[in-house]
Amino acid sequence: MAPAILIVGATGNTGRSTVEILSGFLKTSSVLSSHRIIALTRSSNGSVAQELAKLPGVEVIEKNWVEITPDWLRDNEVARAFIASQPQVAQFTEESTFLVAALQAAVKYVVRISTTAPNVRPDCVAFYARSHWALEQLLSSPEFEPLQWTSLQANSFSQLYLQTSAEFVKQYRRTGKQGTLRIVGSADAPLGIIDPYDVGVVAAHLLAQKDPTPHNKAKYILNGPEDISGHQVVEMVEQHIGTKVENVIFKDTTFADVYANNSPGPKNIILTLKASVEVIWQGLCSASTTSKQVLELAAPKITPAEVFKRMLEE
């Protein structure tokens, strides 16, 4: 059996592009020519999973990633892996279990998705950011020395950030009436939101490296190609509705209330998500903070305007 590159969450917002780009590399890379790609998903019957299964060198396997064991990794000869765990209360427990299994199974290299860089610290109020900090500390420990890794500290995903704005435009087009435009960002602070597809492209380039050692223990910051402020989001909305927006709320955190009301986890913990956007308001997440290694590997290209237009067509 050929060595495998495991993509956990292959049908997710970053996993899909990771699989697609890696599949293309199988034809051109001498490093990957002998590898196969395992695209892991909880449902192989989904449309995305079925599309991925058509790609050269890709095998779609239906399995819950939190149940992966060292024996499963060994049996499938997993040499490299990608993981983007969900920001849930159990995130540290679940991802650390996977990483321990990878260490025990002698997996050589892991690329993982982290979160907004200024939040990855032990005193961050937002619960999931502390989980990412703890996971990076775990990987940095002497015990994990045999496992090479890179953490991608991606900024706010474009689709999530622009979701309320897209819904505002769609509602106006249906009814001719305006609601209230709610924007997570502040009016003026620059923010380098990034399309998840671009994040997956960077992950694929890392997984395709002949020798990942130069990227071992690296924590790379990823932003989109250009900044957008709250005022610029309003201007973009106005261009699509052909009139002035009447009511705008900047620094809106009701997204956390919605998530808390629909999540089985403790609400007091989930509501700490509201604190995660403070670094955005402070202007700490501009496109200028992108790591130079990311720009050299695969500079993000998809602009906020392109994402917004695509969202309105869906």
What is the three-class DSSP state of 132? Answer: helix
E-strand ranges in 85-139 read 109-113
pTM (two decimals): 0.96
The pLDDT tens digits along the chain (314 residues) read: 789 999 999 999 999 999 999 999 988 877 787 899 999 998 888 999 999 999 999 999 999 999 999 999 999 999 999 999 988 999 999 999 999 999 999 999 999 999 999 999 999 999 999 999 999 999 999 999 999 999 999 999 999 999 999 999 999 999 999 999 999 999 999 999 999 999 999 999 999 999 999 999 999 999 999 999 999 999 999 999 999 999 999 999 999 999 999 888 899 999 999 999 999 999 999 999 999 999 999 999 999 999 999 999 98
Buried b (16+ CB within 10 A) or exposed e, 248-282: bebbbbebbeeebeeeeeeeeebbbbbbbbbbbbe
Residue (of 137, 5, 8) closest to 63 by Cα position: 8
Model pLDDT, residue 265: 83
Model pLDDT, residue 277: 97
Model pLDDT, residue 34: 82
Helix and strand totals (H; E) in the chain = 13, 9
Token pair, residue 17, equals 């592009």
pLDDT in tens, 240-260: 999 999 999 999 999 999 999
Residue (of 249, 268, 251) closest to 259 by Cα position: 268
Domains in the chain with CATH codes: 4-155+196-222 (3.40.50.720), 158-192+224-286+301-313 (3.90.25.10)
- Give the percent of the chain with pLDDT over 70: 100
Distance between CA 291 and CA 152 in Å, rounded? 10
Model pLDDT, residue 27: 82
What is the three-class DSSP state of 123? Answer: coil
37 φ/ψ angles, rounded to the nearest 5 degrees = -115, 125
Model pLDDT, residue 225: 98
